[in-house]
Each structure stands twice: as structure tokens, then as C-alpha cells.
Amino acid sequence: MLTTYYLTPTDINICGEIGGTIDQYHLEMRAMNETSLTMKCADFINNLDYRRLPSEAIEMAKDCFIDFLGCVISGSVTPEAKIILDFAAGNPGLSEATVLGVWRKDSLLNAAMANAFNCHIHEMDDVHKASVQHPGAPVISSALAVGEAYGKSGKELIEAIVAGYDVVLRVGEAVMPSHYSFWHTTGTCGTFGATASAGKLMGLTPDELTNALGNAGSQATGLWQFIEDNAMTKYLHCGKAAYNGALAAILARRGLTGAKRILEGEQGFVKATSTETNPAEKFSSLGSKYKILETSFKPFASCRHTHPTISAILNLRKKYNLSTAEVSKVKIKTYQTATEIARNNKYYPDSRAAKFSLVYCAAAALYFGALPLQAFTPEALQNEKILRVAKNTVINVDEEINRAFPGKWMTRVELHTKDRCFTETVEYPLGDPENPMTERNIYDKFMDLVMPVIGKEKADSIYQKCRELEQTSDIAKFFMEVIQQ
């Protein structure tokens, strides 16, 4: 089949100089642009093969899928979810992919958007430290919707997840840390990851993948201003990243061209959204090191920047059998970003605000001995024992801890009682690769999230099917076989 390329006058002059057909010209241009990070990503996505993946990458992809499903299904029954679910129901599309939790079929774009939106509501979806983002919501939402619509297998879904994580995390690292001052990485970089996973499952060629990534970059957005108003926009960032990523892949398949150097170009993503100067460094191990292995999972239902503090609080509570009644003051020393993102140091009777409050999360963890979803109910948010500790909590930036970020998300906590001070430092909170959740931890988290929505038997059945994901021949049948039981 003859491929059409749209050439500028400069392109035509070069074509005349090298001689030959336009197809030959394109091959020559690809060779000339081999340093293009966009093309490098496209080639990586195209060449990634399940048969060559290390077993640990396959198992991590399944862990990520399980974690994603738990977050989405649980999030789907919240008041926030009703907004996006009603929108999708009012704008129905083709019956292509499952909207999780309500278990109805919709267009793959609507399903990708709704699932990614709902995945982020509880603030329990996975995290990558160095790029400071939540990769699962956009990458897996896009992959799952496309996988269902195109009748792909479990092995192909695993390929797409690994590819999407690798791209999204490297793009994120390329713009960090300066990007994070204004831009929400899950929304911006997530668009690239969603495109990568969707494009892999659609079987796009390297040229089509390059075009798709180019157009993904022009749609990549998500600003932190929402945090000033405690707005719901953060969920929409995830939803639109999945939607726009899948859209970019669909349109590339239809011939829509995109920027070939969208990442490192003079008017590309890195320069437009950061002050970083060497993005190529972050792609040097592409194909030899799988970034999905760096994924962190969240045991607590709050902003990840609160988790080191929560872990320290829980360690002290367990070691010394402390309670909120005994603690008179809490001192937290942490890194700058934690004080900027989880900075809600005033009490607001709102679960969304509380999830971004170091002082509330610290006090609630001390009270509950954990930080479950129940810590953000109206009753908990008005609990005087929790509020007393929260009001007596002080947060400061520690320069040594700050220098370690984002490689380490550290904290040092002091719990003061009437006559003693107890101190705990946490370098790697539970869920980090350096302090991983066990398979049992992952199972318990999934069941805690999903059982209230669909019951124990169906939740356990989905979990077991996920553990054997590579044996699934058709993703389109994956859920309905369980839900229709």
C-alpha cells in the first residue's frame, strides 16, 4: 500500500538532492532523525514483544492491572464518579469497551475516560517516584478500552501496559523537577503513555506511532491551579489523558500526521513545559531497562506525599503503643514538594481536601492505626480526637531530606507526649520498590476496595483471573464472564 507523506518546500528540496521516491526519502529522513526521542519511543513500542519480557516485568504488569481495577471499581460508586458516568451515558457511543463498576459497554474513548477518571478518585492508584506521577490510570484505561474493542489477548494487554509505563515514566523524568511547579504530570505525561499503550494494541507502525505521539504531545495538559480551590479537576486530568492518548492513536491509524520531535523539539513538550536541558539521558536505557519495575503502590487512601509521614506515624504507634490521647504535639520534617502539594494545613470538612493534608492524615493515621477510606468519612472528619492532634501538628522543610527528593520521598516525625519525644525516619514508605507490598497486601487492598461494590465471590474471581491474565484469549470477555455469574 502506498503511504502518503505531506512535504514542506524544504522537504521537497532535500528529496531532490538525495534522489529517489518519496518513500525512499522518508526512510532517509528516519535515518537522519534517529536521535529523535519520539521516533525512538515509536520503535521501542513497535518492537516490544511479550516473549522477550522478563518474568518480573510480566508479574509487575499484572500487579499494576490488579491495583488499577481495584481503584476504578471502588471509585465508580462515589458521588464524583456520577458526574463522568452520567456524561458518558448521555453521550453514548459504540458498544466497544466496558465502563467498570457500572458494567455497561460504551465507545472505547468514553470507557477510557470514565475508567481513568474513576481510578483516581480515592487517591490510591499507583505512583512512580522519579517522575512524580500516577501511570496506571491513563495507561491501563487506554489499553483496556482498546484491548476490548480490538479483541486482544491478555498477553497483548501486558505488552501494552509495559510499553505505556516505559514511555510515560521516561517522559515524566525528562521534564522533572521543573515541570511539577505548574503541570500535573499524570495529565500531561500520561497522555503519552496512553498513546503508547493504545498504539501498541492497535498494531500501529513506527511511523504511525511517531505521528500518534506527536499529536499526543499537543494534547498533553493539566495544571495544578485546581488545588487552590480543592477542585475535582485532578480526576479529569486522568480521564482526558486516557481519552486523548487513545484518540491520538486512532487518528494516526487514519493518517493524521504529528510532530516528529514533539519531545525535544525547539517548540516541543520538554522546552514548553520545563527548564530541563537533557531529555535524551532519560531514554538511554529504553529497551534494556523496564521502568514498570519502579512502580510504587499505595496502601493508604491519600496523596502519596503524605505516605512517608503516615508510615512513620504507624511505626511509632506500633513500637510504643501510642494513641491520640497521649500525643500533645507532632513535628514533621519533610521535603518541599510535600509541603506544597499536601499543604492543606487547615481543617475542611471535605474528604478531597483531607487527602491532601499532611496534618490531617498524620492525625488520622495515629487515631485509626491505618489510613483506610473510613478515615475520610464525614464522621472521621469531625472527630475531635483527630482534629486536636491535627491542630497541634507542625511541618517544616528539612534541607537534607529535600535534597534526596524525588529519589527518596523521606520524612522524619517526632511525636511528643507529656514527658517524652519519639522519633522515626522513613526513607521508603510501604509500597515503594525498596519496601514493596507483598502479594497478600495487594490482594487485601483489592478485596477491600472491590468487595463492597460486587461482593466477595465476584471480587475474588476477578482477582484470580488477573493473576492468570496471560492465559486470557480475549479481553472483551474478561469481565462479563464474572459479572454475569
What pLDDT score was predicted for residue 349? Answer: 64
Cβ contact 424:315 at 8 Å: yes
pLDDT of residue 482: 73
Q: What pLDDT does residue 347 have? A: 56
The pLDDT score that the predictor gives to residue 192 is: 98
Which ranges of the chain have pLDDT less than 70?
1-35, 344-349, 485
Encode pLDDT of 461-475 as tens digits.
999 999 999 999 999
Strand partners, 169: none
The domain ranges of the chain are 33-296, 304-426
The Cα 359–Cα 341 span in angstroms is 12
The predicted structure's pLDDT at residue 92: 84
Q: Whole-model pTM?
A: 0.91
| CATH for 33-296 (1.10.260.40, 1.10.4100.10, 1.10.645.10, 3.40.1380.20) | 1.10.4100.10
Torsion, Cα of 380, 352, 313, 391 (10° steps): -70
Distance between CA atoms of residues 440 and 479, nearest Å: 22
Give me the pLDDT at residue 9, please: 38
Nearest-angstrom CA–CA distance, 26 and 206: 12
The 3-class secondary structure across the chain, one letter per residue, is CCCCCCCCHHHHHHHHHHCCCHHHHHHHHHHHCCCCHHHHHHHHHHHCCHHHCCHHHHHHHHHHHHHHHHHHHHHCCCHHHHHHHHHHHHCCCCCCEEECCCCEEECHHHHHHHHHHHHCCCCCCCEECCCCECCHHHHHHHHHHHHHHCCCCHHHHHHHHHHHHHHHHHHHHHHCCHHHHCECHHHHHHHHHHHHHHHHHHCCCHHHHHHHHHHHHHHCCCEHHHHHHCCCHHHHHHHHHHHHHHHHHHHHHCCCCCCCCCCCCCCCHHHHHCCCCCHHHHHCCCCCCCHHHHEECCCCCCCHHHHHHHHHHHHHHHHHCCCCCCCCEEEEEECHHHHHHCECCCCCCCHHHHCCEHHHHHHHHHHHCCCCHHHHCHHHHCCHHHHHHHHCEEEEECHHHHHHCCCCCCEEEEEECCCCEEEEEECCCCCCCCCCCCHHHHHHHHHHHHHHHHCHHHHHHHHHHHHCHHHCCCHHHCCHHHHCC
Rounded CA separation 394/75 (Å): 32
Q: Which three cell numbers stand for residue 14?
A: 532535500
* Spatial distance between the Cα atoms of 314 and 410, rounded to a whole number of angstroms: 15
Q: How far apart are CA 333 and CA 425, in angstroms?
A: 9
Domain range 304-426, CATH architecture = 2-Layer Sandwich (3.30)
pLDDT for the residue 33: 46
Nearest to 280 by CA among 30, 29, 35: 35
Q: Counting beta carbons within 10 angstroms of the beta carbon of residue 339, is it exposed (0 to 12), middle (13 to 18) or buried (19 or more)?
A: middle
Q: Are 478 and 485 in contact (CB under 8 A)?
A: no
